[in-house]
């Protein structure tokens, strides 16, 4: 089976010799006309089955098939995506962490209430919505709600890392330092090695992870939002924490400052003019081709530099990632706006 993305309008290249050449391609090939990605059916089957730890050694054909991101990975993904995946330092998130869904009460009005201090007996602080928190490191003082925790028909969910369910132009994963309860507007992530939660949080907040999200995200949601569901997160590619060496003190300010839109993080302002008629408003100032290291917020660049160098990416390849992130986010949001 071959996945083919044409670089020119179909009517310009619909010639017999082009299709004959595509038929001959047996490996990943890029030229001025097309990009072709041959995949064996057995490889697609392996990528699309759900393989939990308890059925790791079961026959492939007996495992449930849940599909994979064929369109994102093999048709829409920029070329740098494949260069990175070829490197041995990339692993699936489920290999280094567990992922769990948040609390589902069935009746939020009954079980959630705005926080009161001191916290009444039978309640505890919780995170209910990603809109309530703007920085990476969050704790009790950041909670805006409390949830009833006695005589309730649901389980209280806790995790050290919180992944917001929906994303627009802000890429953030929270470090839940007090392991507060969280609602199903988040997914919880817990490193299999407790000491790696801090490193894992930094990796997931890197621009590389924002790039992977944009390639693999589910779209078609309100306002152009993107989403990864639990099975997507299990397979989410990340830099293996084993290859990530950092001094936690170097990123204390990154953890505690407000995280801005990915455009602003990479050095591009959004238009703030009211009643602006520009067709790309508010993203008309975002020019992916103009991205450069000196535009990027310094603490983000320092983090990204460590991640990219662990993967052996050249400076040119790093710029490719930044450019691709800006293009993918901008295109996703503008596409939703045009509907």
The domains located in the chain, with CATH, are 69-338 (3.90.220.20)
Which residues are paired to 101 by β-bridges? 187
Which residues are paired to 124 by β-bridges? 147
pTM attached to this predicted model? 0.83
Beta carbons within 8 Å of 325's beta carbon, 6+ residues apart: 207, 210, 211, 214, 262, 266
Tokens coding 253: 């300010």
More confident residue, 49 or 2: 2
Question: Helix (H, G, I), strand (E, B), or coil: what is residue 159?
Answer: coil
pLDDT value of position 274: 86
Note the pLDDT tens digit of each residue in 98-149.
999 999 999 999 999 999 999 999 999 999 999 999 999 999 999 999 999 9
**114, HSE (Cβ side, Cα atoms, 13 Å):** 1
Report yes or no: 247 and 209 within 8 Å, Cβ to Cβ: no
Q: Which residue bears the tokens 């100032």?
A: 285
Beta carbons within 8 Å of 195's beta carbon, 6+ residues apart: none
**Shortest CA distance to 144 belongs to which of 185, 179, 112, 102?**
112
User: Cα-flanking dihedrals φ and ψ of residue 83, to 5°?
Assistant: -60, -40
Tokens coding 267: 């050095």
Note the pLDDT tens digit of each residue in 189-216.
999 988 899 999 999 999 999 999 999 9
Cα dihedral 267, 169, 219, 164 sign: positive
Note the pLDDT tens digit of each residue in 135-159.
999 999 999 999 999 999 999 999 9
Where does the pLDDT of residue 292 fall: very low under 50, low under 70, confident under 90, or very high at 90 and above?
very high
What is the mean pLDDT of the segment spanning 5-24? 73
Would you say residue 60 has pLDDT above 70? Answer: no
Note the pLDDT tens digit of each residue in 73-96.
666 678 899 889 888 899 999 999
More confident residue, 219 or 90: 90
């Amino acid at each position: 089976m071959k996945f083919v993305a044409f670089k020119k309008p179909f009517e310009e290249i619909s010639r017999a010799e082009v299709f004959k050449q595509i038929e001959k391609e047996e490996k990943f090939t890029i030229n001025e006309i097309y990009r072709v990605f041959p995949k064996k059916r057995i490889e697609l089957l392996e990528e699309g089955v759900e393989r939990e730890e308890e059925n790791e050694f079961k026959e492939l054909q007996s495992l449930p098939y849940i599909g994979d991101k064929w369109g994102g990975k093999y048709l829409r993904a920029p070329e740098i995506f494949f260069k990175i995946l070829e490197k041995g330092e990339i692993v699936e998130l489920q290999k280094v962490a567990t992922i769990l869904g948040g609390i589902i009460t069935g009746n939020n009005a009954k079980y959630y209430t705005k926080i009161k201090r001191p916290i009444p007996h039978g309640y505890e602080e919780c995170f209910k919505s990603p809109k309530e928190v703007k920085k990476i490191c969050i704790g009790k003082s950041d909670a805006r709600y409390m949830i009833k925790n006695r005589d309730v028909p649901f389980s209280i969910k806790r995790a050290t890392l919180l992944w917001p369910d929906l994303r627009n132009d802000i890429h953030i994963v929270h470090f839940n330092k007090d392991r507060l309860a969280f609602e199903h507007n988040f997914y919880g992530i817990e490193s299999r090695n407790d000491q790696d939660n801090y490193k894992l949080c930094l990796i997931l907040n890197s621009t590389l992870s924002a790039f992977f999200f944009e390639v693999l995200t589910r779209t078609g949601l309100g306002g152009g939002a993107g989403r990864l569901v639990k099975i997507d997160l299990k397979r989410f590619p990340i830099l293996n924490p084993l290859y990530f060496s950092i001094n936690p003190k170097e990123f204390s300010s990154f953890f505690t400052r407000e995280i801005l839109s990915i455009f602003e993080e990479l050095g591009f302002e959004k238009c703030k003019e009211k009643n602006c008629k520009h067709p790309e408003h508010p993203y008309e100032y975002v020019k992916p081709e103009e991205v450069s290291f000196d535009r990027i917020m310094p603490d983000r660049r320092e983090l990204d530099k460590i991640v990219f160098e662990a993967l052996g990416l050249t400076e040119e390849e790093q710029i490719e990632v930044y450019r691709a992130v800006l293009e993918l986010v901008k295109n996703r949001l503008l596409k939703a706006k045009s509907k």
